[in-house]
Structure 1
Amino acid sequence: MGKFQTANDCLQQSLSTARRIGYRKTEATALSYAALTHQFIGNQQIAIENLRECLVIATEIQDYNIEYLALDCLGCIYTSQGNYHLAIECIRQSLEVTRQNNLLQKEFYILGNLGATYVRIKDYDSATNTLKQML
């Protein structure tokens, strides 16, 4: 827990500084890292809140790399909670961001996550169709 606290303290300091100077990209990045830290130790609700806030900022500043990643991370959290409908919705939105912005390597990664989520709910036709898009 000590390392988590140290990491969290550093992230909170970075977040505070970014907010104070108005550097939105750093604010979004700090929120995304804080979310991952909270997810790692099981604070999923805090992780979701951080990612939602990160997503709002990423959309405002049109940083598509942060936007797709926040959506995908939300999808992963929802998958781990068994909330597959929300997971698929977030991952599909992430896929749309990658496609609209020609983020081909990231699209490949997102297709894998979406296909794996379909497998978890035993929707094998959707999983197959999704994974074929990776070819």
Structure 2
Amino acid sequence: MSPIKARCGLLVVALIVALGGSVAVAQNLDQGKPATKLFAESCASCHRSPRGLAKGRFHLTLYLFLQKHYSSGSSSAWALTSYLESIDSGKRVAAKPAAKTGAARSRLLRPPAPVPAR
């Protein structure tokens, strides 16, 4: 092998290493975000609320649709799917009822006013 061919070969190998050596690593920007924030960032621009978005859909098909079209990864698609289904199935945590004041409590205990005669 001649020295010119060896140098050309070495140059080609050096170019391949230089161009292929620095591989970019993708970063999942949605990782660790709660489902409510994921909905607010990706869905709220078109949908006012999450109610009804999962109604009548199978869990797997909703997950696959969200993964393909709206989320950056499988974990965020799964979180969105679970969130949307929890909203539509009524599994949400109910808010604590407000403490009733004395006036409000007495209105509840009092019978309604009689209907005036005509």
Please give the TM-score of this superposition, normalised by the length of structure 2: 0.26
Which one has the bigger helix percentage?
1
Q: Larger RCO: Structure 1 or Structure 2 (Cα < 8 Å, ≥ 6 residues apart)?
A: 2
Q: Pick the structure with greater CA Rg.
A: 2
